[in-house]
Copies of this chain bind each other. A is one copy, B any other.
Amino acid sequence: MHYREVETRREFVARMETGADWREEIETLAEAAEIDAGFFYALGAVQDAEVLFYDQREKEYESVSFEEPLEVAACMGNVSWLNAERFAHTHAVLSRPSGQAIAGHLDSGTVFAGECYMREFEGELVREFDETTGLDLWL
């Protein structure tokens, strides 16, 4: 367990734009407010979604596309620097009209409506390549 004490500097609530991309909206907030490190939480609905699953053996992402309206029942993630850009690492739980849940790493999704809360930590979180997992990890 690698850990670091952090201090919250600013907090934001946001409403995502209908028709925009879910993850890009979060990165737009991070960019606009110059957030270098933070955690966020969001809920709402999307018109479609692309969900990634990391193949732990092959060390690569597989993608599944859902071309249908879905509720965003829960979404959480964090903002850090990756390859000199602000990156929103975004996981989400989506659902269909029957209540059936779909979940994973949310790469993209067209916003129908979305409400977000983000807290910014002092300092930076920077992702670097980790050989064991093949992922870009911070700390």
Question: Hey, which bits of chain A sit against chain B, CB under 8 A?
Answer: 1-8, 10-18, 20, 25, 28-29, 32-33, 37, 39, 41, 43, 45, 47, 51, 53-57, 62, 64, 66, 69, 71-78, 89, 91-105, 112-113, 115, 117, 121, 125, 130, 132-133, 135, 137-139
Contacts and interface: CB of A to CB of B under 8 A. Distances in A.
A124 B117 CA distance: 15
22 contacts: A1-B14, A4-B12, A4-B14, A5-B33, A6-B12, A7-B11, A13-B121, A13-B138, A15-B137, A15-B138, A43-B76, A53-B95, A54-B112, A57-B69, A62-B97, A66-B99, A71-B103, A72-B91, A76-B76, A78-B115, A99-B102, A113-B133
A89 B43 contact: yes
Contact of A93 (B29, B57, B74, B77): B74
Nearest to A33: B3
A93 B137 CA distance: 21
A112 B133 contact: yes
B15 A53 contact: no
Given A3-B13, A71-B91, A115-B89, A43 B77 contact: yes
B14 A2 contact: yes
Given A91-B43, A103-B73, A2 B15 contact: yes
